[in-house]
Amino acid sequence: MKHHPITYREIDSTNGEASRLLRKGRLPEGQVIIADYQSGGRGLGEHRWLSEPGKNILMSWVVYPAFLSVSDQFQLSKAVSLAITDFLSRYSLDARIKWPNDILCGGEKICGILIENSVLGIQLSHSIVGIGLNVQQEIFPEFPWKATSMRLQTGLSDAPGVLADRLTNALQVRYDQLADTGSGAISRAYLERLYRKDELSEFADGNSRFTGVIRGVDEIGQIQIESGSSTRNYGFHEITMIY
């Protein structure tokens, strides 16, 4: 069942607000919290998430994936990433998933994902799926990476709010697929859309740089990189791709 989104003109962070609301009581499965502007938008690690007011999708989607154990939590990230690329493909955008949490179009970042999970025993109890998708913004002055938007890629003029509803539908489809049939098909489709898979790329690992080829992502979400005669798995704190 679909619920009306909780909307804000301005909030510090939709993920932060979702977490505060969840502390007060249960939200319906699939509840969307959405804002025109975030004064303290959060990205992965220490990054901030900056977005011009009213231009982009800034939303958090709340789900209760009790069917996933803690060790399987990256499956949710795969389903979400894939759903975003499904959604973008409807606008003829050939989006790629840059491990672990970016969506790129034409090699530039169009969307960031910040999933915050809460755990009960060895199962996930709730997840706050934060999505920042660039829709109408055209200039990205303070960004430490190359950024793009749906408008820059396709000329589309649809409002972020309308698109957020369609994006939510796409999320629900992949989430239901994960819940109902497990991760097999999702993992295969994810690999097909993985940025620079099977291509020679440059990575930074601590203080050193090396070249290698991404071969896949394992069940716990580590990237598998072949370099020379060996293949090693890395967690997301251990490595960055130079691109």
Q: Are 154 and 95 in contact (CB under 8 A)?
A: no
Which of these ranges, 12-20, 67-75, 83-91, 160-168, lies near ligand BTN under the rule CB under 6 A? 12-20
User: Binding to ligand BTN (CB under 6 A): which residues in 197-216?
Assistant: none
* Torsion angle (degrees, nearest 10) of CA 101, 107, 108, 113: -10
- Taking alpha carbons only, the member of 59, 68, 75, 44 closest to residue 174 is 75
Asked if residues 114 and 130 have their Cβ atoms less than 8 Å apart, the reply is yes
Q: Least separation, in Å, of the C-beta of 237 and ligand BTN?
A: 14
Bridge partners (DSSP) of residue 10 are: 37
Q: Are the CB atoms for 148 and 135 separated by under 8 Å?
A: no
Q: Does 43 bind ligand BTN (CB under 6 A)?
A: yes
Which of these segments, 9-17, 19-27, 81-89, 206-214, binds ligand BTN (CB under 6 A)?
A: 9-17
What token pair was written down for 175?
């989430």
Select the span of 10-18, 23-31, 149-157, 223-231 touching ligand BTN (CB under 6 A): 10-18
Residue 202 CB coordination number (10 Å): 13
Q: Least distance from C-beta 131 to ligand BTN, angstroms?
A: 6
Residue 222 interacts with ligand BTN (CB under 6 A): yes or no = no
Residue pair 171/83 in contact by the 8 Å Cβ criterion: yes
The answer to whether 61 contacts ligand BTN (rule: CB under 6 A) is no
> Considering the rule CB under 6 A, would residue 149 count as an interface residue with ligand BTN?
no
Choose between 137 and 177: whose C-beta lies nearer to ligand BTN.
Answer: 137
Quick check: bond before 28 cis, omega within 30?
Answer: no
135 lines the binding site for ligand BTN (CB under 6 A): no
Residue type, 221: G
Q: Which stretch binds ligand BTN (CB under 6 A): 42-50, 74-82, 154-162, 219-227?
A: 42-50
Contact between 112 and ligand BTN by CB under 6 A: the answer reads: yes
Residues near ligand BTN, by CB under 6 A: 13-15, 38, 41-44, 47, 49, 58-60, 101-102, 112-114, 130-132
